[in-house]
A = this chain, B = another copy of it.
């Protein structure tokens, strides 16, 4: 096992009817800015529950946060925070709203000239407006981590930052808020969470059996419960199990003491930045081909994964075929959920993607993978095979 530090101070309030807890969790003596997206929370009743729970507080709103939120949108909220002397941010939505809230919280207190430098140049986040969340879409794990991914319309970039200053003080997870999610978002969430586990699990082995099994616990839960929520959107237990699995997929615990990869995410972010496909779609396309490309380096873990998750037995001499079978089973799981896994399914030209993305990674001098040995040329090969 590798040395590590772990600390996650987010308070999770989980279950039916828990939005009323906002009254205890949100400070009463400051102005609150409620952040949300396109208005689905008004249709499904979440908005009115939130407003009712906030009671007599001074509440302002900032809506219109888009999927893969833009820095440009976030900066409008920052203006509002400064003008209205906002003391607390309440993000109500999925990962995009939460990620935006984190960037807004940090940008509002940023002491440099351009807050985009937090993402583009790794400028330090020294403080942030306190924030909390009501999660309505299990997927990114943003409700229980300090990460945020933000895009910039002007430059077509999609970058991430992480800072302990932007941990939500609390996150309310009421599975009933997910009953009315469109199937596409439900499916995206399952795939996103699955790949989060992969980035922390499917690496070279460092003899950390507990972390391996904790990761496998999340994968098996997503495989078993994922199809249920697609078939029966009102199945409370299945919704609850998927929701808690997605949170556990990226709250830091699985990454304790093990190497981490994140190449699939880095390549996927570029696909979204250049072609606008959903984040989870980009992951579902890249992961199988990346695994095939890195099969030798990841073989031991691929065999363990195939055996423990899909019951794929193998004998000596058979390892290469068994690793392929594990990769195939992964892609088939995504497909079974209704997720397409080829660039052509999204009308993206694989060669075009390979040229553009490998060029950008080269310009940035980025090497990917848990050993930082995946070059822009490797990424080009991977993307060509995603055709």
Q: Does A209 contact B (CB under 8 A)?
A: yes
In the assembled complex, A1 has its CB within 8 A of some CB on chain B? yes
- Tell whether A220 is near chain B: CB-to-CB under 8 Å: yes
| A contact residues, range | 35 or more
Q: Mark A14-34, 1 if CB is under 8 A from B, else 0.
A: 111110000000000000000
CB neighbours (8 Å) of A245 from chain B are 210
Q: Flag if A5 contacts B16 (CB, 8 Å).
A: no
Is A6 in contact with B12, judged by CB distance below 8 angstroms? yes
The residue among A2, A5, A11, A211 with the most chain B CB atoms within 10 A of its own CB is A5
Give the residue of B13, B213, B218 whose beta carbon is less than 8 angstroms from that of A5: B13
CA A240 to CA B4, docked complex, whole Å = 12
A5→B1 contact, CB < 8 A? no
Identical copies of this chain, number: 2
| Residues on the B chain within 8 Å of A213, using CB | 213, 216-217, 220-221
**Chain B residues whose CB sits within 8 angstroms of the CB of A83 once the complex forms:** none
Asked whether any CB of chain B lies closer than 8 Å to the CB of A41, the reply is: no
Roughly how many angstroms separate A2 CA and B9 CA in the complex, as a whole number?
22
Indicate if A44 sits at the interface (CB-CB under 8 A): no
Known: A6-B14, A213-B220. 15 other contacts (CB 8 A): A1-B15, A1-B240, A3-B14, A4-B15, A5-B14, A7-B11, A9-B9, A209-B220, A210-B217, A210-B218, A210-B241, A210-B248, A213-B216, A214-B217, A253-B253
Q: List 24 A-B contacts (CB under 8 A).
A: A1-B241, A1-B244, A3-B14, A3-B16, A3-B18, A4-B14, A5-B11, A5-B12, A5-B13, A6-B11, A6-B12, A6-B14, A7-B10, A7-B11, A8-B8, A207-B237, A209-B220, A210-B217, A210-B221, A210-B248, A211-B244, A214-B217, A240-B257, A244-B256
